[in-house]
A and B are shown apart, each in its own frame.
Chain A
Amino acid sequence: QSALTQPASVSGSPGQSITISCTGTSSDVGGYNLVSWYQQYSGKAPKLMIYDVSNRPSGVSNRFSGSKSGNTASLTISGLQAEDEADYYCTSATSSVTLVFGGGTKLTVL
């Protein structure tokens, strides 16, 4: 299985909205509503931000939202804040009943 494709980096100014894409195939992203997103600060463990494409765990800001269209999932962060600067990873279940991660996206808040 190949890693999901994410842009290496995205950036935005405080208050703006940004979207991170996560592209897979019909055997993973496109075939299942089992996409998750994680936020990771340098040297820290990842934190679950979105699961099942668009669900937010308790305690996660509603500035974070997820969606999917075809084989591409997206994470949108609205009202960008300095504290959002981190690495973001998407994952998806696959047709082999395994899990695949994306290559990660570094978000810079300008």
Chain B
Amino acid sequence: QITLKESGPTLVKPTQTLALTCTFSGFSVSTIGVGVGWIRQPPGAALEWLAVIYWNDVKRYSPSLKTRLTITKDTSKNRVVLIMTDMDPVDTATYYCAHTFYTPESYYWFDNWGQGTLVTVSS
């Protein structure tokens, strides 16, 4: 059974850096094809893809947020970390991490999601 859980601060101030951790079980991010992505959702708004990291350390970022995002993985601890710099109130959202699997013909779908964590950006 695959489970994921997001953790991190619930409140950050404008201009601060956010670090979110996704801790998972039921799979290993060192297994060929496996990836973990981050998706966020502002209150009452649509989902927005942020980033994904794969077993081979390939990383992809949202073009609009690329300069502010860093995604890393810790295979031994079953964790993936997302760092977002220069936080702004518009970044207030529920942040989700999710499991994915890559093949050349099939990718960018997320079949298991964490419960999400609400991050509020306010002074």
- With A and B bound together, what is the CA distance between A57 and B64 in angstroms? 30
If the complex has contacts A45-B96, A45-B116, are A34 and B107 also in contact, measured as CB distance less than 8 A? yes
Q: Mark B104-123, 1 if CB is under 8 A from A, else 0.
A: 01111111011110000000
- With A and B bound together, what is the CA distance between A66 and B48 in angstroms? 21
Most central of B37, B63, B107, B115 by chain A CB within 10 Å? B107
8 Å CB contact of B113 from A3, A46, A100: A46
Category for how many chain B residues contact A? 20 to 34
| A69 at the binding interface (Cβ < 8 Å) | no
- With A and B bound together, what is the CA distance between A22 and B99 in angstroms? 23
Q: Give, as a whole number of angstroms, the nearest-CB distance from A56 to chain B.
A: 11
Q: Are B52 and A99 in contact (CB under 8 A)?
A: yes
- With A and B bound together, what is the CA distance between A104 and B46 in angstroms? 6
Category for how many chain A residues contact B? 20 to 34
Q: Are A98 and B63 in contact (CB under 8 A)?
A: yes
Most central of A40, A98, A100, A104 by chain B CB within 10 Å? A98
Q: Mark A72-110, 1 if CB is under 8 A from B, else 0.
A: 000000000000000001011100111111111000000
Selected A-B contacts with CB under 8 Å, 27 pairs: A1-B63, A3-B46, A38-B110, A45-B96, A45-B116, A46-B47, A46-B96, A46-B110, A47-B113, A48-B109, A51-B106, A52-B109, A57-B111, A89-B46, A89-B47, A91-B108, A96-B63, A98-B49, A98-B60, A98-B63, A99-B37, A99-B49, A100-B49, A101-B39, A101-B47, A101-B49, A103-B46
